[in-house]
Every structure is written in C-alpha cells, then in structure tokens.
Amino acid sequence: MERIPSLASLISLLIIFATVVNQTRASICNDRLGLCDGCDQRCKAKHGPSCESKCDGPVGMLLCTCTYECGPTKLCNGGLGNCGESCNEQCCDRNCAQRYNGGHGYCNTLDDFSLCLCKYPC
C-alpha cells in the first residue's frame, strides 16, 4: 500500500524548513565598504578569506558589500566614519542605532584618530 502524506504533515515540514532557513540567514552580516575599487581584496582583508564580496548599485556608483558569518557572539561589526568635534560618542551611538537595527555605537580612539564603530545583532 502506498502512503500519501497528509496536508498537515506537508505543512509541518514546510514550517520546519522555513525555520532552518531563517536561522541560517540570521547568522549572516553585511558590511558596506563604499565604492567598489578593490572590493574583494578589502573584504577579505577585513573579514577573512571566507567572506563574499559583491558590487551593486546604479551604473557609475557601484558599492562594495561584504557578506560574512556572524560568529559565536551573534554580533556584526560596522563602522560609520570618524568621531570628533562634529560627532561625539552620543552621535556615534545614535547613528549606529539609525543605520543598524538594534545597533549601538562607540568611538574607538587610537592616538589622535577616532572612528565610530557599531555592533548590532545578526
């Protein structure tokens, strides 16, 4: 006798599949690195050899995006330029929260150079 799966069992399998796909997607980070010149090399230098790079956008304004695994901390890293007189710690945190869902920012200063760095959940 041939078994025919019920509609309920097919829906259950579909829900399980969608959950697994969602969990897989949740562990991916995207980092935008600006214009596409040297995109692949810059991505690999910043996020390691397993990251993937792509350039997309309107002709003449192609932008580099790196895709990499989130890692055990479940946090992605991003950056939003310089900190300083025009953008202090609170400004950096606010900009990160606006740019990245659930993001928080801080100014990382080394000597006279200060960058706005962001951490956000993946």
pLDDT digits (tens, 9 = 90+) for 9-39: 333 333 333 333 333 444 889 888 889 999 9
| 79 occurs within a structural domain | yes
For residue 102, the enclosing domain spans 75-121
| 54 occurs within a structural domain | yes
CATH of the domain at 86: 3.30.30
My answer on whether 88 and 68 are in the same domain is no
CA dihedral 5, 11, 15, 17 (to 10 degrees): 40
pLDDT digits (tens, 9 = 90+) for 73-90: 899 988 888 998 889 999
CB atoms within 10 A of CB 75: 16
My answer on whether 92 and 55 are in the same domain is no
Q: Look-up: residue for tokens 């995207």? A: 30
* C-alpha–C-alpha distance, residues 75 and 42, integer Å: 20
